[in-house]
Chains A and B, each alone.
Chain A
Amino acid sequence: MARFKRRKRMFRRRKICRFCADSSFVIDYKNPRTLRLFTTERGKIIPRRISGNCAKHQRQLTTAIKRARTIALMPYSAALSHY
């Protein structure tokens, strides 16, 4: 019981949209380096509830990642290297 209470009071860092916070951080399908921050090592797109992006930027990000996949700048699915 005590454990639950402690959990409730626990401070959690508020997630902020990185693209809203920093306007120089641009979403572009030609720049896979930035896009890679928002995919898992398997190449899946990280959901909004985890990355903390706002809806508008998540939408732009999704199209950018999908475009980058089309021209082989990013993988559709990647093999895990350390297995």
Chain B
Amino acid sequence: MRRYETVCIVNPSLSPEEAQPLFDKLTDLIAAHQGLMVKLDDWGHKRLAYEIKKQTRGYYILFNYCGNGSLVKELERNMRLDDRVLKYMTVCVAKEVDEAAIKTEIEAAEEAAKVKESSVEPKESTAEAVEDATASEAQEQGPPGETLEPTPGEAEALDNAALSTEKEEELTDGKV
């Protein structure tokens, strides 16, 4: 067994109800091919760095699972045939996995999910939670790529400036 990560970009125009059957189908496929689903990570809507099938945004989802090569082949075949999937990529994370360790990891992930759910429910009734929710909504409304961009962009600009001066130094050294 090997451990894989598959990132899948789904058409952003799909509603959650429409997209859910697709995710269910893929997770069922993993179970059907003697695979072990470790974690399903939902990244949500993101801006794409370049257009894929005329789309500028995409819904990202990450499957973290264990299985054999045949499972990956089948999974990729299904994604390739599906129109809702814009693009996908599978990366092999580990060539050998310890099944017992994976099982405990799955349990831990499930428990963490439960704790998250239970902690969210009581919070919703309090006034503080409402404030939190509005704050997070406000953040979500703006496209995440654009709102998050300035800080790394600035850092990059600074970095580039520093790098270019270094480069110049090197060039002059070369002439000497």
Contact = CB atoms under 8 A, between A and B. Distances in A.
Interface of A: 4, 7-8, 12, 15, 29-30, 33, 36-37, 39-41, 46, 49-51, 67, 69-76, 78
Contact of B160 (A15, A33, A41, A49): A41
A12 B92 CA distance: 41
A72 B50 contact: yes
A34 B40 CA distance: 23
B49 A37 contact: no
A73 B145 CA distance: 10
A67 B170 CA distance: 31
B67 to A, nearest CB: 20
Given A71-B7, A71-B87, A72-B58, A37 B169 contact: no
Contacts of B160: 40-41
A21 to B, nearest CB: 15
B89 A37 contact: no
B152 A36 contact: yes
Contacts of A74: 49
Given A29-B91, A37-B152, A41-B157, A75 B50 contact: yes
Contacts of B159: 37
B96 to A, nearest CB: 20
A70 B156 contact: no
A23 to B, nearest CB: 20
B5 to A, nearest CB: 8
A76 B89 contact: no
A50 B68 CA distance: 41
A29 B48 CA distance: 15
10 contacts: A8-B176, A29-B91, A37-B152, A46-B163, A50-B163, A50-B167, A71-B7, A71-B87, A72-B50, A78-B49
A12 B159 CA distance: 16
